[in-house]
Amino acid sequence: MSELSATAVRTYTVSLGCPKNRVDTERLLGALGSHMVPVDEFDDADLILINTCGFIQPATEESVATILDAVRDAAELLETTGRKPLVCVAGCLVSRYGQDLKDDLPEVDLWLNTEEIELWPAMAARALALNLPGDTPRNLSTGPAYAYLKVSEGCSHNCRFCTIPSIRGPHKSWPVPFLLDEARLLSSQVPEIIVVGQDSTAYGSDLGSGHDLPALLKGLAAIPTIEWLRIMYLYPAGLTESLLGLLRDTGKPFLPYFDIPLQHAHPDVLASMGRPFARNPEKVIDRVRSFFPEAALRTTFIVGYPGETEAHFQALMDFVKRTRFHHLGVFPYWAEDGTPAAAMDDQVPDEVKIARRDALMALQAEISGEIMAGYVGETVPVLIEKESEEWPGLYVGRAWFQAPEVDGVTYVGSPPDAPLELGSIVEVEIEKAGVYDLSGLV
């Protein structure tokens, strides 16, 4: 590695996987304080930080490919310039494959697993020969509009297809005061706070009295600088009438957007999956809509789970037709090493999984297009995220029913003499709708 400045570590960062990983990356970079200077080009870096995902096979393959590219480029840089950046690999892939990964990739200088996540700053500082500057804020990477607030680590459910408990360990909540302090700081920079956790409804179940999701939500709602509050990863079992009543009574800044990972709709498949809730997801949807008739619903489904028959899949299709989700993600089942589902009989052929995914997404595209068309002629609040590089006066934002990274966007036109401020919420008259996206004028 090249000789480092005492005050600057030029850092090139790749954060893969979910928003929870992104928060881990931001916290680590923030802990380095003013030492950390972000760079956009690999060749300029003193530190290459790759935070990996190892949840399913495609994510694992992407993470491995990214690491291989980094170590190859670092070797080439050493050969051509005599300078080698320190390559640091962190996250879920490290925790999942551990020593095998280290044996296969000795070129990596520093490994950070999720079991030691609170020690990451100290471990990185030691490898970089730096003194940590003390308490420092997160280094936000999401732009001027929103930030994620990760409220917990790990998961204590035992879904038979999932690797998360073995990678991240059991559920562990961050204390309410810590999260409220972080939220105040974040909301001084961005208007939208998005609560994330492997199971957000389980927040505080491992803490004492006064540290639960209602207490956290009341504290967040009282922060005047939070304009939009969105909660992701709401497990069905946790969406009780008492929680929904609290959310309804809270009102602003809470957005009636419900991200509920159902995974399937047929009771036989749900039972086989070991999902931690009653076998009828329709009851959960009805309960949410009884409190929030205007709710925007998002979910994810797994198709091709072992033993899923055509009848099971048709029941899922019928459920989606009836429910009419705003947003829907569909994933073909992956047999992950070490999970009980991988050893089950009746594995579904890959071509069947892909065909079922495509059929369900085609159905959802039709539903989404109809829902989006319903907004034409209405005026909706839109959070402005960035300006188009190609078209002056055109901005990209999100309506309240569009979460970042996973949903569609809203394109907003504004007169050249009236530029919009990034991170502002403006009223937009919707003029056109696509399958997932909207467009309109201020």
Binding residues: 18, 53, 92, 155, 159, 162
Neighbouring C-beta atoms of residue 95, cutoff 10 Å = 23
Return binding residues for [4Fe-4S] cluster: 18, 53, 92, 155, 159, 162
Q: Do β-strands 172-173 and 192-196 pair in parallel, antiparallel, or remain unpaired?
A: unpaired
In angstroms, what is the C-alpha Rg of the chain?
Answer: 23
Residues 335, 341: Cα–Cα separation, whole Å: 7
Q: Which of 199, 287, 211 is nearest to 243 (CA)?
A: 287
Reduced to 3 states (helix: H, G, I; strand: E, B; else coil), residue 299 is strand
| Backbone φ, ψ for residue 255 (5° rounding) | -100, 135
Q: Please give the C-alpha separations between residue 66 and each of 49, 70, 337, in angstroms, as whole numbers.
A: 11, 6, 21
b (16+ CB within 10 A) / e for 68-94 = eebbebbeebeeeeeebbbbbbbbbbb
Report the interhelical angle of 213-221 vs 176-187 (nearest 10°).
30
Q: Which of 243, 270, 265, 266 is nearest to 254 (CA)?
A: 243
| Backbone φ, ψ for residue 153 (5° rounding) | -115, 155
Q: Which of 315, 317, 340 is nearest to 330 (CA)?
A: 317
The answer to whether the beta carbons of residues 211 and 176 sit under 8 Å apart is: yes
Instruction: For the sheet with 192-196, list strands across it.
Output: 146-150, 192-196, 228-231, 254-259, 296-303, 327-332
237 class by beta-carbon count within 10 Å (0-12 exposed, 13-18 middle, 19+ buried): middle
Q: Which two tokens stand for residue 151?
A: 């409220």
Reduced to 3 states (helix: H, G, I; strand: E, B; else coil), residue 345 is coil
Q: Please give the C-alpha separations between residue 312 and each of 267, 308, 363, in angstroms, as whole numbers.
A: 9, 6, 16
260 class by beta-carbon count within 10 Å (0-12 exposed, 13-18 middle, 19+ buried): buried
Neighbouring C-beta atoms of residue 169, cutoff 10 Å = 16
